[in-house]
Amino acid sequence: MASMPPGSRTTVDEPSKFAMQDYASVAMRTVDGVRITGFAIFHRASPSDSPANITLLYCHANAGNMGHRLPLASRIKNLAGVNVFMLSYRGYGLSDGTPSEKGLKIDAQTALDWILNHPELGSTKIIVYGQSIGGAVAIDLAARYKGYQILFRDNLKY
C-alpha cells in the first residue's frame, strides 16, 4: 500500500525546518499495539495565548510521509489560523507496523483520541482533512462522528 520515496522511512522533516516552532512530536500506541507518530502544530496569536479554537487533523496521501507535507501544513496553519495535527500512519515515516485499510482507520482514530484527550486541543472544533488515500481515511473517520467537518482532495477518479 505505501509508496515510499528514497529515505522516507528513515528521515522525517520536523516542523521547525519550516518555521513552525510551537509543536510537539507525538508517539501514540494504537489499540492493536502499533506505535505511530505525529506532530501537533499549534497556532497561537502570541506565545502566551491558548491555541486556536480549531484543530485540523491532517490525513496525508500515500507517497512519502508527514514531513513531506509540512510546507502545506504551514500554509494551512498560517492562512486559516488553525492548529494542525499531522498523523503518520503505520508503516509510514517513523511509525512502526505495516499499512492496511483497517490499520489506517485505527491510526486515524488513535490520532483523534489523542487530540480529544489533549488538555488544550481537546475542546477545539475538529476538521478532518484528507488527501488521496488520506481522503478515504478522513471520510471513514468523519462518517463515524457526526458533527465533524471534512475536507478532502484528489480522492475521486472519473
CB atoms within 10 A of CB 98: 10
Per-residue model confidence (pLDDT) at position 62: 86
Task: Report whether pLDDT(158) > 90.
Answer: no
Asked whether residue 3 carries a pLDDT value surpassing 60, the answer given is: no
Rg (C-alpha) for the chain, rounded Å, is: 14
pLDDT for res 40 = 98
Whether the predicted pLDDT of 121 surpasses 80: yes
- pTM greater than 0.85 (yes/no): yes
Extract the runs of DSSP E, i.e. beta strands, from 42-140.
54-59, 83-88, 125-131
Mean predicted confidence (pLDDT) in 30-58: 94
When the pLDDT of each residue in the chain is averaged and rounded to a whole number, the result is 89
DSSP annotation of 81: T
Q: For residue 7, what pLDDT is reported?
A: 74
Give the contacts of 93 (CB within 8 A, at least 6 positions apart).
8, 9, 12, 37, 65, 66, 67
Fold of 27-95+102-153: Rossmann fold (3.40.50)
- Which pLDDT belongs to residue 154? 58
* Residue range 33-42: mean pLDDT, rounded: 98
